[in-house]
Structure 1
């Protein structure tokens, strides 16, 4: 009988869901039976990608970013986060017993573990970088406490920590890098990508803005991006990142989608000259694996995204702007004479090794 893996995904935008796809596919390819659990847009997304898999709805965190200070946001959301973690832990135990689960993999859902079962946390953040030493220490202590119940910690980065930097640094043996996790490396053939880079004039869109993340910041950014795109003499696309129709609608020079599946997102990215998006970790993995030029906009109140964006400043492919200082035209001017970089290399051996060791010393 095949071992059953319960795969739980956080719904703070679509990043946690998109980076889970290669891992879920790898598990299925190895003969594991995978059961999904998430909520809201992430659950809808995973059900679309894996329609034949059993899935469960987990409690929603309903996190809102009302301030640009991480700890103020944390205090505001603390009660609902603690409640969600407690509720998802109870539901995880119920699912594990009902469906005879053999192991649990959780992407940033800290309540999804069960004593006696191998439990994996997928995360790129083991430390905080807020600029405040005391807050960083408190944040690290909190993360360490939440991770105590997990047997393995998988970091979606290469062993050099090219993207995550100090955020994922740890000397613990249970912490393993599994490589960049992006499906977009196979969304277009290498020949097509090469031809696209040689002839930018053949791009379907000049700019594609791909939005995601918690409210109200997602809506605030969408409003400003729409306002600026409308003033440009350029063919643009906007993926709003909300529940709705995947059908395109034309609004002036902007082709608007409420949501797109991963295949469609891959086609859009590969047919666009410049991407506008948050500096979320999963977005950076997609950009690195496609070699795309991008305007990165850190989410206010998420110092992790600001740290990641600052790391990308040294790469000519990227322009970084704060949300309150957004100027798409100036970013396009800076990127106009810059060639896209070669797509990054993604190897599966790190993930393969992590999966092989999933039941090590636990069976």
Structure 2
């Protein structure tokens, strides 16, 4: 196994550009790798790579092909089905690009966050993801889709699920795979008991055009409620705050530290029930109103699952009623029951990468 002159192993972290959540949950992973004295190289594309470059300016990064999935329909299965040839070609191409990068860096290990081509047969390779069980709106498709999905995942040496057993992801993490580790909830957030400055903190995220659509739907209702509100648009770039009204502050983007503080000062968070967002809410132990992206079966399942458990209030994007949601939020317990277990990630890293170091 190749080592740097300083004796450190190089671990590749490959991040999917499918909203910012894949990048944000890789932040604690990368921090843990650095703490364990590994060298890290980050590969990715788009805004997720830009975010990680801002968070880790001293880490080497490389750009590789993106999956570039478009969303012309409100049904995720239909969107993916029409673009399968392009998706498979991207997976093949990223695998070939990875081989070239391996010749340059001589990786000692790979962690792929939902990048299906980022594995090598001669390098310990980990697939990280919570959705091992894919939910489709058509029952006839569910079994063959999951058979193929889990067969592909078997190409990796280990599967890391960012959750605890019987935890936040519900049936999404059910599987028939071997070599699976639960690594605990991955969140870049740190809990602090701060006074509330805002009644509502709105955190927009996800792919376009749905991010913009949600902002357009929420804005008039936020104005009517007229409670102290911070609207974080989720658009990487400017960090200049403006005002939508005397009671509503708007900012395009916040770095981790600033976002952490902003969310802590909000009484209620409004966001998508993307899994990374839910992990952040669990770390901060917040109450939340969640609005699934239309057609994203994963978000629709998580929103309904947590709403039924009286953990969050979930509303359909086509029928948003913030006044009603704020009444219902008082009856929820918030994301307070999912306790963090940081040692699980450290143990998983040692199990595959330190073991590989010993063998070499």
TM-score, reference length from structure 2? 0.92
165 and 317 in structure 1: CA distance in 2 versus 1, 3 angstrom threshold: closer
17 and 53 in structure 1: CA distance in 2 versus 1, 3 angstrom threshold: same
Matching residue of 2:179: 174
2: distance between equivalents of 1:280 and 1:178?
18
User: How far has the Cα of 1:111 moved from its partner?
Assistant: 1.1
Q: Secondary structure, in 3 states, of the residue corresponding to 1:274?
A: strand
Residues 1:14 and 2:20 are matched in the alignment: yes
Residues 1:163 and 2:168 are matched in the alignment: yes
Q: Secondary structure, in 3 states, of the residue corresponding to 1:294?
A: strand
Indicate if the aligned counterparts of 1:277 and 1:297 stay in contact, CA closer than 8 A: yes
Indicate if the aligned counterparts of 1:41 and 1:242 stay in contact, CA closer than 8 A: no
Q: Secondary structure, in 3 states, of the residue corresponding to 1:97?
A: helix
Matching residue of 1:124: 130
Q: Secondary structure, in 3 states, of the residue corresponding to 2:121?
A: coil
60 and 223 in structure 1: CA distance in 2 versus 1, 3 angstrom threshold: same
Matching residue of 2:288: 294
Matching residue of 2:267: 273
1: distance between equivalents of 2:343 and 2:136?
33
Report the count of equivalent residues: 350
Matching residue of 1:282: 276
1: distance between equivalents of 2:233 and 2:120?
36
Residues 1:222 and 2:208 are matched in the alignment: no
Residues 1:347 and 2:353 are matched in the alignment: no
Matching residue of 1:112: 118
2: distance between equivalents of 1:70 and 1:136?
14
Matching residue of 2:4: none
- Structure 2 residue runs of 5 or longer lacking an equivalent are 1-6
Give deviations 1:28-48, integer Å, cap 9, x for gaps. 111100111111111111011
User: How far has the Cα of 1:336 moved from its partner?
Assistant: 4.4
Matching residue of 1:232: 225
Matching residue of 1:324: 318
TM-score, reference length from structure 1? 0.91
User: How far has the Cα of 1:317 moved from its partner?
Assistant: 4.1
Indicate if the aligned counterparts of 1:5 and 1:32 stay in contact, CA closer than 8 A: yes
- Structure 1 residue runs of 5 or longer lacking an equivalent are 197-202
Matching residue of 1:73: 79
